[in-house]
Amino acid sequence: MIAFEELLAVAYKKERMQSRRLAKGAALTEHAALVRTLQKAAGEQSLRDFVDARRAEQIRNADALRSRDARRAERSRPRRTEPEATGWRGWFDGSALPNPGRLGMGGVLVGPLGETVEISIAAGIGDSSAAEYLALIALLEAALREGAAEVVIYGDSRVVIDDVSAPENAGIRSLAHHAARVRSLIAQIGDVRLQWIPRARNARADALSRQALDAARASVEAA
């Protein structure tokens, strides 16, 4: 059977909501409900082929977005070097090696005057969704420490961003405690907006999450 995390990564938001309702109504696991939902969307196509096609579509869209951003950047040169004076910006990413396995958290927080906080922390054992959530929590905690009151946070995890935005009791049950912590931190900070971006535009946070895993592995090997 295809892993739950792989199915979540390619499911549309509407399909994830449908599968959650199915899981509750038919007493199925979230994994089994999502399999049924995507099998219905796949029609006569096998689920494996359907998932692969969705993944290929995501890659094509990301490539197209990178090309568009590159063209825009080229047209706008020379680039503005001064930091924007309105609010904070943050980027988060989490890694699991393997999945599930050791977790690494990465994040970058940039203030309105250019001040920068980087996060690169190993975080125990779990799956990729837990890693993404823990990275978001670490970033929000850093924003709270810095006294940020207005933050736009970018991440490439649709699972986490959609889960935080889901109505109460409609999110992924296994991640509910992480979602509650995120909402608590957002309430303490004030104005926080989460925005999905393609993985290609989240390179620094991704590198910091993997750096944390490398450091943890090196520490174990040296012990």
pLDDT digits (tens, 9 = 90+) for 107-142: 999 999 999 999 999 988 999 999 999 999 999 999
- By the 8 A CB rule, do 33 and 23 touch? yes
Q: Based on the domain organization, do 15 and 121 belong to the same domain?
A: no
Q: Where is 119: in which H helix or E strand?
A: strand 116-126
Q: Is 83 part of any domain?
A: no
Regarding beta strands 150-155 and 88-97, do their DSSP bridges make them parallel or antiparallel, or are they unpaired?
parallel
Say what the pLDDT of residue 80 is: 46
113 C-beta neighbours (distance < 10 Å), count: 9
Amino acid at 83: P
175-198 tens-digit pLDDT:
999 999 999 999 999 999 999 999
* Residue 105 within a domain: yes
Residue 210 tokens, joined: 């993997």
Residues 25 and 117 in one domain: no
Distance between CA atoms of 137 and 125, rounded to whole angstroms? 16
Residues 113, 189, single domain; the answer is yes
Domain check: are 104 and 199 in the same one? Answer: yes
Based on the structure, what is the number of domains in the chain?
2
Retrieve residue 38's tokens: 């995507």
Residue 82 in domain: no
pLDDT tens over the chain, length 223 residues: 788 888 888 899 999 899 999 999 998 999 999 899 999 999 999 999 898 888 788 878 777 777 777 777 777 655 444 444 468 999 999 999 888 899 999 999 999 999 999 999 998 899 999 999 999 999 999 999 999 999 999 999 999 999 998 887 788 889 999 999 999 999 999 999 999 999 999 999 999 999 999 987 877 677 6
What is the domain range of residue 213? 88-222
Q: Rounded distance, CA 208 to CA 196, Å?
A: 18
173 and 143 co-located in one domain: yes
Predicted pLDDT of residue 84: 45
* CATH at 191: 3.30.420.10
Last residue within a domain, chosen from 54, 76, 98: 76
